[in-house]
Amino acid sequence: MTHIEISIPAQTLTLKTSDGVYQYLVSTALRGVGQQINTGCTPKGRHYIRAKIGAELPLNAVLVGRRPTGEIYSPALAAEFPNRDWILTRILWLCGLEKGLNRLGSVDTQRRYIYIHGTPDSEPMGVPRSHGCIRMRNEDLVDVFEKIQVGCLVDIIANE
C-alpha cells in the first residue's frame, strides 16, 4: 500500500510504494509543529490526501486559492509580488484523520489549508521555512503526485 511519511526533524518526505521507497527533502513550518488554526505551524499525526490539484499544469505554474492564475513563477514575478507565499506546480491537500488532534474544530488540517506543494527553486529545502505547509521542489512534487492517489495515507512525525 502506498504511504507517505513526513519527518519534521529530518525535513524529509518518504514515499513507500509497491515499486520502492523514495525520499525527498522538504521544508515544513518555520514556526514549528502545531495544530491550531492561524499559528503557521505544521500539524502532526495521521492524514490522507483529500485532493490532487494541478495535474496538467507546467512546472512553476502559480496557484492561488487552489486555482491556477495563468502565471509562471519567475524572479521578475517574485520581484513584482515580494510578499506572496508561492504555491507552485501541484497541490496535495491534506485532511486529518484524528479527531481533536488534526480533525474538526480549531485544529482541522483541511480547513487550515495545509498542503504539500511546490515552491520556488530558490527556497532552501531541508530547513523549516514554510507558513505551515510542506514545501517541495517542483520536480520532486510532480514525481510524488504521479505515484500516489487521492486517499493515500500521510503520517507527519514531529519527533523521532
The pLDDT averaged over each successive group of 10 residues in the chain (160 residues) is 96 97 98 96 98 98 97 97 95 98 97 98 96 98 98 93
CA distances from 122 to 52, 75, 137 (A): 24, 9, 10
Superfamily of domain 3-157: L,D-transpeptidase catalytic domain-like (2.40.440.10)
pLDDT at residue 1 in the model: 86
- For the annotated catalytic residues, the residue numbers are 117, 133
Supply angle C-alpha 120, 91, 46, rounded to 5.
115
Q: What are phi and psi of 2, to 5 degrees?
A: -70, 135
pLDDT at 135: 98
Q: Domain residue spans in the chain? A: 3-157
Nine-digit cell string for 44: 502532526
pTM of the model: 0.96
123 DSSP 8-state letter: S
**What is the per-residue pLDDT for 76?**
97
Predicted local distance difference test score (pLDDT) of residue 104: 97
| Helices and strands, number each (H, E), in the chain | 2, 10
